Amino acid sequence: MKKLIPYVFFILAFSSCDSTMTSSNDETILARVHDTYLYASDLQSLIPENTSPHDSIVLIKNHVNSWVRTKLMAHKAAKNLTAKQLDFDKQLEDYRNSLIIFSYERELINQNLDTLVSEEEIETYYNTHLGDFELKENIAKIIYVVFEYGQPVEDDFEFIFTLPDSLLLDSLESFSQTHARTYFLDTASWIPFSELQEILPIENYSRELFLKNRTYYKFTDEYNIYMLKFVDYKIKDDTSPLTFKRNDIRNIIVNKRKLILVKKARSDIFNKALQNDEFEIYYHE
């Protein structure tokens, strides 16, 4: 990288309409806005490793142009604002404190948070918050295969779909590996109906009737034949099954632990400071 930077600046200086100049301490100057200068050393960390010279030049040019525009706007704004409007000390202090606290709490969480959530905890949360898990859309458990229109395997696939469940999946997987363009045989996963429609050309209308009235379905388009079987379904406004919400519940539990951990840390810091007489409050109502 240290070898690349001077090379890039050399190209900038001699192969474009832009030019560079050198300061009294031999630093390469890339731009100036009034009395403020942008030096080559300011851009040392701008270019990622293994970036080509051409891409490096583009990055540098874009950065220089952005820097100039920003400095010009800031200079214009500063000349047109009052001293009171330019006093950002309070905002900067608040922002700095927020960044420091955020960084500390993030490190505290990384070092101390227990992210292991048992199945019992998930089930308990689910059973005590059933009202929070109302389905917002129809979902289904399905299996499907998609194979090229005109292949002499349609009858074979149709026969396999009539097999009992104990034989269906193994037979379908074995045959699909050779003859299907794509297939899905995970009977444990719930799929939103809207997501299913992005994969398979299912009618938009009467979704509930479609789910309730069909178990096996076959349809075609110009290129493919689609065969699918509904293993189970849930209609919008039903209670969402636990398997569909397991990851969401795990995240909820972990996030609650984060809040508890941070709240306890803040309380401990305050109480310890109080015991050690590290602060005083002089205001009283």
pLDDT tens digit sequence for 197-210: 888 777 655 566 66
Average pLDDT, the chain: 85
The pair of structure tokens assigned to 127 is: 């059973």
Which range (73-82, 155-164, 214-223) has the least confidence? 214-223
- The distance of Cα 166 from the centroid of its chain, to the nearest Å, equals 39
Q: Averaged over 112-126, what is the pLDDT?
A: 95
Q: What is the pLDDT of residues 45-79, one digit of tens each?
A: 777 878 788 888 888 889 999 999 999 999 998 88
Identify the three-state secondary structure at position 186: coil
Spatial CA neighbour of 136 closest among 190, 214, 217, 184: 190
Domain ranges of the chain: 4-80, 88-134+246-285, 135-234
Average pLDDT of the segment spanning 226-235: 89
| Least reliable range by pLDDT among 187-191, 208-212, 224-228 | 208-212
Helix/strand/coil percent split, the chain, to 5: 55, 15, 30
What confidence category does residue 120 fall into, taking pLDDT thresholds of 50, 70 and 90? very high
Q: What is the pLDDT of residue 208?
A: 67
In whole angstroms, what is the distance from residue 174 CA to residue 196 CA? 23
**In a 3-state reduction of DSSP, which class is residue 36?**
strand
Beta bridge partners of 192: 139
The mean per-residue pLDDT over the stretch 172-200 comes to 89
Which single residue is written with the structure tokens 């009858």? 155
Tokens of 40: 């080559």
**CATH classification for the domain delimited by 135-234, as one of 2.60.420, 3.10.50, 1.25.40, 3.10.450:** 3.10.50
Q: Identify the weakest region by mean pLDDT among 13-17, 63-67, 85-89, 280-284.
A: 13-17
